[in-house]
Structure 1
Amino acid sequence: MKRQTIYFLFLLLMSTSSFAQNLVNEIQQEKRTLLALIKKAEKKGIDVTKEKSTIRTAEICERFADWDEKNIKKNEQLFKRLKTYKQNALEVAEELPNFEREEIVLMLQDAQHTLELALKGKVVKQPIEKIDWSKVKLEGSDALYNGKPVFLADYTWKPKVDFLTEYHGNLDGIFVTTKYLLDEKGTLKPNFKKEIIEKPSGRVGTVFLNHLNPPKWFTEKYPEASVGSRRYFDYDIDHPATRALQQSLLKSIVPTFKDKKYSSIGYMLVNEPHWHTKEKSWDTGEVSSYTFAKFRKYLEEKHKSIAQLNVIWNTSFESFDSVKIQVPMSGDLRGSAVWYDWMRFNQLRGTEWFQFLSDEIHKYDPKANTHIKVMPHLFSENARDHGIDLEALTEVTTVIGNDAGAVYSDMWGKKEPEWSSKYYFDWKQLCIGYDFMKSVSPDKLVFNSEGHFISTIRFRDLKMKPEYARATYWLATMLGLDVMQTWFWPRDVDGSLRKESKGYAASLTQMPRVINEITLTYLDMNANAEALTKIQKLRKPVRIFHSETSAINKPTHMEDVYHTYEQFLFEGIAVGFATKNILNKQPHHLWDVVVIENTPFVTKEERNALQEYLDQGGTIVMDNKSILKNEYGESIDVLTQSKGQLIKFNTAENIQKKVLSIVKKDDIQIHETNMLSHKGCIWRYFENEEKLKIVSIVNVGKSEAKLDVLLNGIDQSVELTDVITGNKIENGFTMKSLDVYLLKVGTIQKKGL
């Protein structure tokens, strides 16, 4: 029996080895076939940039598969870390190399098919210009190459060698930490000083300011400066020694980095900042005596007298110096005056810290860019104990930094979320986050320095559809994304694992077709960057009023914001937000109407900004549940129509209908029919110089959709052209879930006219 088992295993091993070798041989044959087609196409003047990039992706991923074949035990250990793959980790690790090779074969065959169509004249290949990252310039909200807008994409930790940078991104930059300081005077470690002096200007890039592991001399002298620390942030932002430490570092490095290409996207002030202060929140914790002292000063400035504070808080403190609260704070206090005052203060102190860092940098380089790797889900989700005011941070920095992501599953097995019944993936933090930040600062570049569309700690799928990658990156770009650094690329050039990480198994570098699709998507987007840039910059006629006051006080406020936003996202119009600051600082002609739903709590200043907007002739459509109370739940004066229009309805449906009647023009409409009760296609359009409409569409719905394009007021037939392929498309076309289209919409004169 034992001999039979050994013999069976021997045959199985031989069969597996033979299958692997067959795949290796098949890859070589498919590459030869594609290379031959490329040669033919080049002779005919057909652009083959995409096909050449696929060849390179194949060569890269072949090395990945070879390494995985030799390191099955290592991969098994890493797959065991994932709940999804834990029970069959060995099986997955054994299948991985051949899975990767099968993916390579498929993507090579797809490339052949497309090129064969081009050679037969059935599709038109767009010309694509390869980007020299050393010659990219940043102007306002655009990255420019040869004077034209481009979109840039790279990967975290990817080695900077030609083999990996020719088609897959070439972001430059430098890592900086206070650990490089030898003393309080700002003396830099010799090796680091030599590095920054000798480092060439290089390519467009960013400066990563790390706030972990302060120097030993600092922690020994100021041990209390670690009180109030959080993940990625090893010290108290309110401790004066912390500020002095940052001042020393920035004074030493900023003059050296000035005007260098590798710092052109700017200084990342903090990586994923957060200061959670609610019990049982993620990464919550205490705060320092310096923070409490600052809080008491804030209370005195806001409430003027301790008597007034005691009335509002229902307390009996003798003085502001005697005010005490418990941090972390109980979630049961949400909606109370003490909750509001602390959580709003927590946001203000965080904003003050970023303003301090920004001011210190600009002291030595007034033109320097800055950004923050803000987690947009801290805005789009309900929690408000984290100390992040997204609007304020967007205003503080010169570049809109973020690490927005998207998911379609959860490895941690939580209950089915609401979105999953309607949409293929959760677009909430991506869409709401980008539309909000671009409403605050429409003229700033958007840099996602840790993109989480493909994987997170809790979301990974080895069998991910390449179409999902195209849909998410395209959608993000439609809404403003300019530069992307995807999480993540942990492999070396030979395929070996450079940095072991619990985020590695079932992530990007084990999915050849996903890598390939990201590359092809960016090549397509850059071939049409001028059109997509115009879509990014569309006027946002509908503005949803956002109040952090209600967000802090209401347990589910952002769910209500999501539903309001959802009503307009699929209607072909750019959706934005309005806040007190936007109403006060931006020209009102940038929008047609402000929508207010389920926003009962506002400060006096927020209410007055809305009233002044009405006084100046603005239009507000709102429900009867909004603008009723101040931050402490006290009644306030209702809004009055004045010179503008104040329109109220009891239902969201009536609000949507009225708003769309205000903003909809007799121009272009897309009627969607699908198997669900909700639309799934997000679309935007603009009119080009030839009076043709250019429409970008992404189907994020769970079902396919039939789309009918109508040009109202024009007695002509609609002609649709796929911009990427040049093919004509019959109206009433079908988009599968995750499909992406860029269409040119024209008209054909009816026969007999």
Structure 2
Amino acid sequence: MKPYFIGASIASALVFMSACNNSTSSTETSVQSTKVTQPATKATSELEQTARLKLKTLERIMAQARAKDIDVTREETVVWFANEFLKFANWDENNQDAITYLMGEYYGFKDKKEELAAMVPDFQREKVLSILDGGIAELSAVLSGDIQRRPVNKVDWKNIEVSDDMLLSNGKPIFLYDYFSKSVGRPLTDTQVYNDHLGAIFHGGENLYPVDHDRAINSFLLNEDRTFNQELLKEVTDISDTNVGFLIYWNMGIPEWVEKLEPEVRLGRSLFTGYDIDNPLVRDVWGTIAKETGALTRGKKVSQLGYILANEPHWYTISSGWTRRTGEMQNISSYTVNKARQWLRNKYHGNIEQLNKNWNSQYSSFDTIEIPMPIPAKLEGTPKFYDLARYNMDRAIDWFTFVQNELHKGNPDADTHIKIMPHLFTDDQRHQGIDLEALTDLTTMIGDDAKARETRSRTAKNPEAWEAHYAYFWEELSLAYDFMESVSPNKIHVNSESHFLSAGNWREFDTSVEYVESVYWLATVQGMDVNLAWFWARDPDGSPEDRLEGELNFFDNALAGSFAGSVNQQPHIANAYTQVMYDLNSFSEEIMALRAQRRPIRLFHSETSAINKTNHMSQQFKLYEKIYFDGFPVGFVTENIIKKQDNKSWDTVVVYKTEYVTQAELNTLQTYLDQGGTVIIDSNESLSKNEYGQPHTKTLSASKGNLINLAGKADIAEIRQVSLKSASNGLPDLVLDENNGTEYKGVNWRAVKQENGSYLVNLNNLGKHKAKLTLSLKGGEKLNITNMMTGKSMKDHFQLAPKGVLLLHVTVE
């Protein structure tokens, strides 16, 4: 069987099924590299002619299926993408100069732009043949009764219901999909852009990188006399109220009249926030805009998916090449300095002597404190750096709290989220002003633009650690999602710019269908309700959208390079993205059941240690990784989670290499023990110091709980074993034994017991090796296993290829 089947999940299941029926066949489904160094040898007309014949074959089989009342939504999408990409291939072939130029705009392709431009037309035609072959094979298997598949649970784009922790379509959970930006300016009535194949979320603000005036909610809406620019306001008030949508606050520009009144307003700018968030006039302007536009859009469908309060906010305070180029935080305003001084006065309770002792300084008062900007890198790990980094986070929290409060004055029911880059949490750096926990807790929805990638980052000088064990880089996605879902377990989760298909630091023409399947299953099972992929850059005639025509010169050069090698030149990936969303929506109720699985083990997270250490998150990932493959979602606790959430939601808290905690954090852990909780500490070093590196005078005591101090004698594998034993009553009844030829596990799995006593099991092989698996029950009872994607029975021992996904229904004899 060929690897390119219609539904990515069903494709994997078919290949898996074939392998199970033939013990000598390999279950490896990795697609062979499609890198091409020369144009295809077949004539273009011959490739397209072959594709047209295959289209007729598929349409004939579809007619047979319709006559038997078999759902052919998946095949309709294959047909649509096949026709579109045949058109795209012809455009690319007939406009080689434009395609060559766009190829050269991506830094990774500069040296081979002519070669790639010549290759890409036939590359697209050959991939069209692949998806057509897959469509014919799968629907033929359905017609013959060889497999059974569920009809697609199609999205009713005009009637989406926003529930507390999920979106509903026709009464069932639904996962929405679209592209964050596509063919800007096209009306909602343009079915070449808004349809089930590409998604139909209306974008209330999608001109991403204009010089000033953009179609989002922006500061140019307000005039100096506090009246609104009515022409620009129409861009908000005249938005179609037909489909579910979102609105975005675009913060790059600031009107000239503001700059004249406040000459410092550009000081302290960052890449996508072009002004000082501490400036009182800025707050007046944005407060007025948020309140008024909130009132004007209240109850409209375009705000159903919330107001995005910022695009990728960050304020890097340690200078680098790119921050100097963009002017990010190269200096700060007097407002920011004075607010920092007041923050320090409050932090030290007015005791300047204590600050001087910590900072090794000699200030006479808080009013004379100097705030260096950029912060010298040599200060990292010092009390001074801690204070400045923590203040940078707190001022951002204060800004977003203010904007959200003003929005809620005009629209009390407004949902909000922030497009936070999760790597700001998963990376070790903490000088960028983002406290993921606080901002996730603040907004009414979870917001992010998480990334994953199948290949090494183009900026990496050496092989990356994940390459030795895994099929793709999943750390940022999984670690951040488990953390955010632990902070806000009952919120809708919107990834408003998903970089799973391409990003600035990775781009490959040979991206595999199996990767697309695996990563979208992973993200959705881990909480993602809405994703807007990056990005759809073609107009319906095949040409690049207007912003990408002619000479490109953007403030942020990422957009200019985004077309080359993107989903717009990869029919197999565009098709796979939609197909996997069809599959996920067909099993939406099962996925919501999997999400509801309890998190019995919680890792203690402290931003105090993350700020003070230059390797804290790298260390934390090692423990997270160790228990990530044990059949349940990993959880986190913090001081605030322990205070705000039901402590019975977990069994064990594990503290690992967390030397620095505030007194409040330590007190909260003690309170948890006082109430009968269990805490495992890796060593006496953990929890030993306050935020300034000074020893705590008290340590935890067991009290009414269970305190297990491993005293530094256990390695990470032993810590896992102790943690699993401590939480044994909360672990799944099912056991998965994995053998992939290495000591590293690769299959992430979840197992939940249903009301009727059966089990629902999801398996996703993130490992780079084929996994030999055995599924059993702790009591040893015989299991009946059904592959829910094909309707086929399975044995309790089977194999799963890298990036393979299974959804199983398990009963006990």
TM-score (norm 1): 0.95
- 2:790 partner SS: coil
User: 2:622 and 2:462 mapped to 1: Cα distance?
Assistant: 19
User: 1:738 and 1:182 mapped to 2: Cα distance?
Assistant: 50
- 1:627 partner SS: coil
2:719 pairs with 1:719: no
The Cα of 1:198 is off from its aligned counterpart by 3.6
The answer as to whether partners of 2:223 and 2:229 remain within 8 angstroms in 1 is no
The Cα of 1:282 is off from its aligned counterpart by 5.0
Correspondence list, 1:50-199, <5 A: 50-159=74-183, 160=188, 161-164=190-193, 165-175=195-205, 176-199=216-239
- 1:89 partner SS: helix
User: 2:129 and 2:271 mapped to 1: Cα distance?
Assistant: 42
User: 1:141 and 1:215 mapped to 2: Cα distance?
Assistant: 38
User: 1:132 and 1:671 mapped to 2: Cα distance?
Assistant: 41
The match for 2:637 among 557, 562, 578 is 578
The Cα of 1:736 is off from its aligned counterpart by 0.8
Structure 1 letter corresponding to 2:74: K
User: 2:443 and 2:40 mapped to 1: Cα distance?
Assistant: 55
State the partner residue of 1:688: 754
2:389 pairs with 1:343: yes
Correspondence list, 1:468-547, <5 A: 468-498=515-545, 499-500=547-548, 501-547=560-606
2:733 pairs with 1:667: yes
2:640 pairs with 1:616: no
- 1:133 partner SS: coil
- 2:265 partner SS: helix
Q: Deviations over 1:81-122 (max 9, x none)?
A: 345433332121111011001001110110110111111111
State the partner residue of 2:8: none
Q: Deviations over 1:44-63 (max 9, x none)?
A: 22221111111112122222
Q: Deviations over 1:682-736 (max 9, x none)?
A: 1112122332111111111111101100111143x22221111111222221111
- 1:163 partner SS: coil
The match for 1:359 among 392, 397, 405 is 405
The Cα of 1:525 is off from its aligned counterpart by 0.6
User: 2:800 and 2:168 mapped to 1: Cα distance?
Assistant: 32
The answer as to whether partners of 1:187 and 1:252 remain within 8 angstroms in 2 is no
The answer as to whether partners of 1:374 and 1:403 remain within 8 angstroms in 2 is yes
2:810 pairs with 1:741: no
User: 1:653 and 1:18 mapped to 2: Cα distance?
Assistant: 55
- 2:105 partner SS: coil
State the partner residue of 2:248: 208
Change over 3 Å in CA distance of 1:436–1:119 after alignment to 2: same
2:415 pairs with 1:369: yes
The answer as to whether partners of 1:542 and 1:663 remain within 8 angstroms in 2 is yes
| Of 72-81 and 326-335, the range deviating more from structure 2 | 72-81
The answer as to whether partners of 2:538 and 2:568 remain within 8 angstroms in 1 is yes
2:774 pairs with 1:708: yes
User: 2:238 and 2:117 mapped to 1: Cα distance?
Assistant: 43
| Structure having greater relative contact order (Cα 8 Å, sep ≥ 6) | 2
- 1:341 partner SS: helix
Percent of pairs identical after alignment?
37
The match for 1:264 among 304, 307, 314 is 304
Structure 2 letter corresponding to 1:701: G
| Of 374-383 and 37-46, the range deviating more from structure 2 | 37-46
Correspondence list, 1:203-602, <5 A: 203-280=243-320, 283=323, 284-285=328-329, 286-304=331-349, 305-407=351-453, 408-498=455-545, 499-500=547-548, 501-602=560-661
| Of 220-229 and 158-167, the range deviating more from structure 2 | 158-167
Change over 3 Å in CA distance of 1:288–1:144 after alignment to 2: same
TM-score (norm 2): 0.88
- 1:544 partner SS: strand
Structure 2 letter corresponding to 1:436: F
The answer as to whether partners of 1:213 and 1:234 remain within 8 angstroms in 2 is yes
- Structure 1 gap ranges (5+): 1-14, 749-753
Structure 1 letter corresponding to 2:198: H
- 2:264 partner SS: helix
Aligned residues: 733
- 1:209 partner SS: strand
User: 1:252 and 1:400 mapped to 2: Cα distance?
Assistant: 24
Q: Deviations over 1:416-449 (max 9, x none)?
A: 1211111111111100111000100001011000
The match for 1:634 among 694, 698, 704 is 694
Q: Deviations over 1:555-597 (max 9, x none)?
A: 1000011011111111111111000000111110110100110
Change over 3 Å in CA distance of 1:460–1:222 after alignment to 2: same
Change over 3 Å in CA distance of 1:480–1:221 after alignment to 2: same
The answer as to whether partners of 2:678 and 2:707 remain within 8 angstroms in 1 is yes
The answer as to whether partners of 1:178 and 1:215 remain within 8 angstroms in 2 is no
The match for 1:647 among 698, 708, 726 is 708
User: 2:181 and 2:767 mapped to 1: Cα distance?
Assistant: 33
The Cα of 1:167 is off from its aligned counterpart by 2.3
User: 1:281 and 1:391 mapped to 2: Cα distance?
Assistant: 28
Structure 2 letter corresponding to 1:680: G
Change over 3 Å in CA distance of 1:27–1:273 after alignment to 2: same
The Cα of 1:476 is off from its aligned counterpart by 0.2
2:89 pairs with 1:42: no
User: 2:703 and 2:614 mapped to 1: Cα distance?
Assistant: 33
| Of 488-497 and 75-84, the range deviating more from structure 2 | 75-84
Structure 2 letter corresponding to 1:58: A
State the partner residue of 1:7: none
User: 1:550 and 1:229 mapped to 2: Cα distance?
Assistant: 27
User: 1:150 and 1:536 mapped to 2: Cα distance?
Assistant: 14
User: 1:64 and 1:390 mapped to 2: Cα distance?
Assistant: 40
| Of 50-59 and 267-276, the range deviating more from structure 2 | 50-59
The Cα of 1:412 is off from its aligned counterpart by 2.7
User: 2:68 and 2:77 mapped to 1: Cα distance?
Assistant: 19
User: 1:86 and 1:302 mapped to 2: Cα distance?
Assistant: 51
| Of 286-295 and 189-198, the range deviating more from structure 2 | 189-198
The Cα of 1:635 is off from its aligned counterpart by 0.8
Change over 3 Å in CA distance of 1:621–1:17 after alignment to 2: closer
